[in-house]
């Protein structure tokens, strides 16, 4: 009974999506999508534009309520759980449009990522009681070591986010998600708009996060190099349906996938 639990959890699914259907008015964004994600893995979600990839991520984050289906995280049904509660459970997220808080510095943006983990009440922070002071300084230390050093952005900490290049903003977006100490990271196009060097850096960070911190990663990407290199499994969406699921090699050969991307002739 005191045996190490590590072996079991390695093959467990940390996230599973079953029969997810989402529509806006009459428009179906997702139809009966299934996906299970193994703890500690990197899973890719790809598909043509408008396939529903971000909608799927939004359902997992809690921003959208699906009309049908279920989202299970770490054994618990979270389909109806509010987004901020899911964050508290360990669901981290980056955004396609970066979505940083323009009125705050990089440091504050990243610290905000840890909001759900902090305990200081509003009165104690206003009075800056010894307890509040301890928590704030501990947060600073944690964020510096675990996030700023890791992502090599220490020199940016007091800059306003508006003054950063797009690539750096995306890194800060990731930093904010990491500050939460997430169990799972949902990345929405983490290397979009990046040059080769930035892409390699980001890919390396993602791998390090998964290996060193045992964080499960689910990423949406259009950069096939990144997807094929990093992901152990890939789900392909097209027009709201999952048309394929498998290893990179299987996906590359799948006729459905080829048809979705390149049209009928290529298949």
Contacts of residue 231, Cβ cutoff 8 Å, sequence gap at least 6:
42, 43, 44, 219, 248
Give the angle 121-122-125 at the CA atoms, nearest 5°.
90
Which residues bind to other proteins, rule: CB under 8 A? 61-63, 82-84, 87-88, 93, 95, 99-104, 108, 111-113, 115-116, 118, 120, 122, 125-128, 132, 135-137, 140-141, 144, 176-177, 180
Q: Shortest distance, CB of residue 246 to other proteins, whole angstroms?
A: 29
Q: Shortest distance, CB of residue 13 to other proteins, whole angstroms?
A: 22
Q: Which residues pair with 70 in a beta bridge?
A: 18
Smaller CB distance to other proteins: residue 78 or 257? 78
Rounded Cα distance between 86 and 92, Å, is: 9
Which three-class secondary structure state does DSSP give residue 229?
A: helix
**Closest to 48 in 3D by CA, of 264, 265, 267, 257:** 257
- Could you tell me the CA-to-CA distances from 11 to 8, 73, 207 in Å, in that order? 6, 15, 18
Smaller CB distance to other proteins: residue 98 or 203? 98
Smaller CB distance to other proteins: residue 36 or 96? 96
Q: Shortest distance, CB of residue 122 to other proteins, whole angstroms?
A: 5
Which pair of structure tokens corresponds to residue 87? 């964050």
Q: Shortest distance, CB of residue 143 to other proteins, whole angstroms?
A: 9
The gap between the terminal CA atoms of the chain, to the nearest Å, is 53
Smaller CB distance to other proteins: residue 40 or 90? 90
Smaller CB distance to other proteins: residue 137 or 267? 137
Q: Shortest distance, CB of residue 225 to other proteins, whole angstroms?
A: 28
């Amino acid at each position: 009974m005191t045996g190490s639990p590590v072996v079991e959890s390695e093959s467990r699914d940390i996230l599973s999506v079953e029969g997810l259907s989402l529509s806006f008015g009459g428009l179906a964004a997702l139809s009966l999508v299934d996906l299970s994600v193994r703890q500690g893995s990197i899973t890719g979600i790809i598909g043509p534009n408008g396939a529903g990839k971000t909608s799927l991520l939004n359902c997992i984050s809690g921003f959208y309520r699906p009309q049908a289906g279920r989202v299970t995280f770490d054994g618990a049904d979270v389909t109806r759980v509010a987004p901020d509660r899911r964050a508290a459970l360990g669901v981290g997220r980056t955004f396609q449009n970066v979505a940083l808080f323009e009125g705050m510095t990089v440091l504050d943006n990243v610290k905000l990522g840890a909001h759900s983990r902090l305990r200081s009440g509003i009165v104690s922070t206003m009075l800056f009681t010894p307890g509040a002071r301890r928590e704030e300084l501990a947060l600073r230390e944690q964020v510096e070591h675990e996030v700023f050093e890791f992502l090599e952005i220490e020199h940016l900490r007091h800059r306003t986010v508006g003054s950063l290049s797009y690539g750096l903003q995306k890194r800060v977006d990731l930093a904010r998600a990491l500050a939460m100490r997430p169990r799972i990271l949902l990345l929405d196009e983490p290397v979009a708009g990046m040059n080769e060097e930035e892409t390699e850096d980001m890919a390396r960070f993602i791998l390090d996060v998964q290996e060193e911190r045992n964080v499960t990663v689910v990423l949406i990407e259009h950069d096939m190099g990144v997807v094929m290199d990093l992901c152990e499994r890939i789900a392909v969406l097209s027009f709201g349906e999952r048309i394929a699921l498998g290893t990179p090699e299987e996906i590359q050969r799948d006729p459905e996938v080829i048809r979705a991307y390149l049209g009928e002739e290529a298949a």
